[in-house]
Structure 1
Amino acid sequence: MKNSIVLIGFMGSGKTTFGKILSERHHYQFMDTDDLIMKKENMPITEIFKTKGEDYFRQLETDVLKELTHKNDKMILSTGGGMILKQENVALMKSIGTVVYLKASPHTLANRLKNDTTRPLLKGKNKFLFIKDLLAKRKDYYEKGADVIIKTDEKNIQDILKEIEGYL
């Protein structure tokens, strides 16, 4: 299954956007761990966080990855921004495919997320400061967990797609 791609990165880094485009262009199955979790739990991520907590959600992420390691289809997998925090998840992602980190600056991420109201971790916070702080805490996890790092700041969509496609 090593022809699959696992996209990691902070929320707003483009994992879902690029994942969908790549899957259509190359006839790969597109999967999003957040979508799989919502379907499994029959509720939105915001509701899972609110009613069951972040620890419960993080365990669901691991459970979904374990299920996906048994799939033989070529896929583009978009993961949640915090997926990389558990070492167990890193090993599972690497068993699924090449792990590609879509890296963006706090400024770029805050700009992309300025009108987003769906992300539970951003609720009621100064988005730029929160993103800057959380990204600094996760930076090493992303970089150490990735097989490939693609910087997305100040690049157009086609250039980023070409870089990712080099690993298919």
Structure 2
Amino acid sequence: MRIFLIGYMGSGKSFIGKRLAERIEQKFIDFDEEIEKIENLSISEIFQQKGEIYFRKLERKVLEQVLSQEQNAVISLGGGTPCYGDNMELIREANDAVSFYLKLSVQQLTERLFSEKDERPVIKHLQNKEELEEFIRKHLFERGFYYNQADHVIDCGGKDSEELITEITNRLR
């Protein structure tokens, strides 16, 4: 089975994904890391040097590769991956795949992302918490349609990683 973790940047997809993969003894694939390996550039550098359209096309190609492999894995997708083209439809229609939306509030995401915004190309330009919160609010409104198509929605608010992993593994049974 391929387990896809989706959600906004900062929602814990990679953090939870690594630990979930260990718990269920599966391979872990960090989607952004896969893209960085292919391009030999960071996500920020890809955005800067080649642009978002190039990045989204590459993202789609990598998604198709992951879906074509017959291996069990936990895959943490990039925050925008499910929201472009028919990527979410592709995931939903894949055989032996299940998706989980790791959902956090705008306030929780703002708190998590503010300290690391300089490493994230999409929010790097925002000057303060108010601008960041407004940006996240707008983005979540736009992306919610896609995120909520996940097979399972996990409310991550107030839960530690162990609770989240247990909730996900319980839903896999």
TM-score > 0.5 by shorter chain: yes
Deviation at 1:164, TM superposition (A): 0.9
Match of 1:120 in 2: 121
Match of 2:102 in 1: 102
Match of 2:143 in 1: 138
**Alpha-carbon separation, structure 2, partners of 1:100 and 1:51:** 32
Q: Which amino acid counterpart does residue 6 of structure 2 have in structure 1? A: I
- Give CA deviations for 1:1-49 in whole Å, capped at 9, x if unaligned: xx22100000001100000001111110000111111000110000111
**Alpha-carbon separation, structure 1, partners of 2:84 and 2:132:** 24
**Alpha-carbon separation, structure 2, partners of 1:161 and 1:69:** 23
Segments of 4+ moved more than 4 angstroms: none
**Alpha-carbon separation, structure 1, partners of 2:87 and 2:171:** 21
Q: Which amino acid counterpart does residue 143 of structure 1 have in structure 2? A: N
Q: Which amino acid counterpart does residue 164 of structure 1 have in structure 2? A: I
**Alpha-carbon separation, structure 1, partners of 2:91 and 2:35:** 16
Give the gaps of 5 or more residues in structure 1: none
Give the gaps of 5 or more residues in structure 2: none
- Give CA deviations for 1:119-140 in whole Å, capped at 9, x if unaligned: 1001121322211111111111
Deviation at 1:88, TM superposition (A): 2.4
Q: What fraction of aligned residue pairs are identical, expressed as a percent? A: 39
Determine helix, strand or coil for the equivalent of 1:166: helix
**Alpha-carbon separation, structure 2, partners of 1:85 and 1:129:** 19
Deviation at 1:161, TM superposition (A): 1.0
State the Cα RMSD in Å: 1.3
Deviation at 1:70, TM superposition (A): 2.1
90-99 vs 100-109, greater mean Cα deviation? 90-99
**Number of paired residues?**
165
Deviation at 1:87, TM superposition (A): 4.5
**Alpha-carbon separation, structure 2, partners of 1:92 and 1:124:** 32
- Give CA deviations for 1:85-120 in whole Å, capped at 9, x if unaligned: 134211332316101000111100111112112110
